[in-house]
């Protein structure tokens, strides 16, 4: 399934460094897909007003029950604050028992390179999974 288009907030500053985070979120069962989608809708609403967010995109591989995120942040602190805030923290706690092993990767880019390419994000995720 194609990715949702990059949803960017303000135009990134071309010379500023941004933290990019990609995740692979596989579910253990197809039965969990509707609940996953319901819960993550709240996270998407949270993203709409998240301080420090440069933008995000989502991708789904339904045949494999796997979801991907790709986001860019002004700083590691802003990314960490988002992850700890509600509803994200509660949603992740509720989903964790229903997920197979997840993968997260981070790297930095200049604002002139935003949005990041899905091909690069997926390659970085595969590399991280291969190093386990």
Q: Is the dihedral of CA 131, 4, 47, 93 positive or negative?
A: negative
What residue spans of the chain are helical by DSSP H?
Answer: 33-48, 76-84, 88-95, 118-130
Q: What is the tens place of the pLDDT at every residue in 6-41?
A: 998 768 999 999 999 999 999 999 999 999 999 999
Q: CA–CA separation, 41 vs 66, rounded Å?
A: 16
- What is the reported pTM? 0.93
């Amino acid at each position: 399934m194609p990715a949702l288009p990059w949803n960017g907030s303000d135009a990134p500053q071309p010379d500023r460094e941004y933290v990019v985070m990609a995740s692979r979120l596989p579910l253990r069962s197809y039965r969990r897909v509707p609940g996953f989608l319901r819960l993550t809708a709240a996270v998407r609403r949270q993203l709409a007003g998240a301080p420090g967010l440069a933008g995000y995109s989502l991708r789904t591989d339904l045949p494999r029950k796997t979801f991907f995120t790709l986001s860019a942040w002004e700083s590691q602190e802003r990314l960490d604050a988002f992850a700890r805030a509600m509803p994200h923290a509660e949603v992740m706690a509720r989903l964790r028992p229903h997920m197979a092993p997840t993968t997260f990767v981070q790297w930095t880019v200049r604002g002139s390179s935003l949005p990041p390419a899905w091909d690069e994000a997926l390659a970085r995720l595969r590399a991280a999974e291969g190093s386990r």
